[in-house]
């Protein structure tokens, strides 16, 4: 088990060396909004990948990889605006992001797909993204919640839950994983006593909680962002005595949940899944060592996925031999999937040399193999997080 240590400091990265020219990549993320604290280490992962590329010679024989940050605020409209900024104004050749599923769906459908620009998200996990008509332009290093919802349902069943109420915030990510969770739990033999949508950012959810508590549920499966509605729902549930046990997904994984609710109320009563990296994997271990100076824990949600997304975009440009956006999707598949010589995080010079020799490479990422399927998705590896007696999250891995 490993304890997750949260920090509010933003990673300070060394300035890139002066190279021949700039190749601009959009870095769209919810830098503000309901999960800003979760996004900071993801951005640190992206920035670290660009730092490694630039420190080892840059792109295409000496061009600087420049990440252009645009704030999607974890909001669909803001996601569209951020996409327009990087694509139409900054003229980026590819986009990393956006952070949240609603912002990603909005951005790719309104901006990047029509513009013929490849995007690769490191933390948008809604199952709906799989089915987009995207002309092979939308990829994810983060696995779909079609996997995470089922994993959480199995954990709930194995923990002895047989009757659960479900509530989910009105957005793509939370609605998608709630649907998968409820269906999976019922397939296992469980009963969903109530399944209710709620609007985020309300001052109180006491009325909704009263409705959810009918039917004798043993706990509440809560799909929300901690900064949107999640913390308030847990607090109201405890205040009213309606619920004392909670299950949640990675939108709720933040130290502020413990700080606000109190560890004494959550020990043995809270279980949160999140997409994770296998700590025994050689690529993750290398990433963790390289990431150590960022100011964040390498086990922070989607930090490794952020690194992989940025490094893969760079590898795709190098493989294509050009920053032409039309060439990048096919090149991305070539460098991400077998066959080929293994490339791990930080091994930019090695990758460039192999590609120059005409050899195939296969990037084995910090987050996992990163083998894209036909829809641009990857398989998942998950952790389960509970609250320990010392008031900190304790992470275990689902194998």
Q: pLDDT of 158-201, one tens digit each? A: 999 999 999 999 999 999 999 999 999 999 999 999 999 999 99
Predicted pLDDT of residue 15:
37
Report CA dihedral (103, 104, 106, 111) to the nearest 10 degrees. Answer: 130
Is the separation of the CB atoms in 67 and 23 below 8 Å? Answer: no
Predicted pLDDT of residue 21:
87
Predicted pLDDT of residue 6:
30
Rounded CA separation 272/388 (Å): 13
Give the residues of the chain that fall short of pLDDT 70. Answer: 1-20
Predicted pLDDT of residue 19:
54
Is the separation of the CB atoms in 238 and 213 below 8 Å? Answer: no
Is the separation of the CB atoms in 141 and 370 below 8 Å? Answer: yes
Predicted pLDDT of residue 89:
98
The answer, yes or no, to whether the previous bond of 339 is cis (omega within 30 of 0) is yes
pTM, two decimal places:
0.88
Q: What is the DSSP string of 134-169?
A: -TT-EEESSPPHHHHHHHHHHHHHHTT--EEEEEEE
How many CB atoms within 10 Å of residue 201? 11
Domains defined along the chain, listed by start:
2-144+279-363 (3.40.50.2300), 146-274+382-398 (3.40.50.2300)
């Amino acid at each position: 088990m490993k304890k997750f240590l949260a920090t509010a400091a933003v990673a300070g990265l060394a300035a890139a060396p002066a190279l021949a020219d700039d190749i601009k990549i959009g870095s769209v993320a919810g830098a503000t909004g309901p999960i800003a604290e979760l996004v900071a280490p993801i951005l640190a992962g992206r920035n670290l990948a660009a730092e490694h590329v630039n420190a080892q010679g840059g792109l295409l024989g000496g061009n600087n990889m420049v990440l252009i940050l645009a704030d999607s605020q974890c909001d669909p409209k803001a996601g569209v605006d951020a996409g327009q900024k990087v694509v139409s104004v900054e003229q980026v050749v590819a986009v990393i992001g956006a952070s949240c599923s609603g912002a990603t769906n909005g951005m790719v459908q309104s901006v990047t797909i029509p513009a013929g620009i490849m995007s690769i998200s490191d933390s948008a996990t809604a199952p709906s993204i799989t089915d987009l008509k995207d002309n092979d332009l939308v990829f994810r290093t983060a696995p779909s919640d079609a996997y995470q919802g089922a994993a959480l349902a199995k954990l709930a069943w194995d923990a002895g839950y047989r009757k659960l109420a479900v509530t989910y915030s009105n957005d793509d990510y939370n609605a998608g994983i709630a649907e998968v969770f409820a269906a999976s739990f019922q397939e296992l033999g469980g009963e969903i006593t109530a399944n209710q949508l709620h609007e985020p950012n309300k001052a109180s959810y006491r009325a909704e909680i009263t409705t959810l508590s009918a039917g004798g549920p043993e706990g509440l499966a809560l799909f929300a962002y901690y900064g949107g509605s999640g913390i308030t729902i847990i607090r109201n549930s405890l205040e009213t005595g309606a619920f004392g046990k909670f299950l949640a997904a990675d939108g709720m994984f933040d130290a502020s949940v413990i700080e606000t609710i109190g560890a004494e109320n959550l020990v043995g009563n809270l279980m949160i899944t999140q997409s994770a990296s296998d700590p025994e994997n050689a690529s993750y271990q290398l990433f963790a060592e390289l990431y150590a100076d960022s100011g964040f824990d390498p086990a922070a949600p989607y930090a490794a996925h952020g690194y992989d997304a940025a490094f893969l975009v760079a590898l795709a440009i190098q493989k294509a031999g050009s920053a032409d956006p039309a060439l990048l999707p096919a090149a991305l598949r070539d460098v991400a999937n077998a066959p080929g010589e293994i490339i791990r995080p930080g091994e930019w010079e090695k990758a460039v040399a192999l590609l120059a020799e005409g050899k195939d490479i296969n990037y084995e990422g910090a987050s996992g193999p990163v083998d894209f399927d036909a829809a641009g998705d990857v398989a998942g590896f998950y952790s389960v997080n509970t609250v320990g007696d010392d008031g900190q999250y304790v992470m275990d891995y689902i194998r």
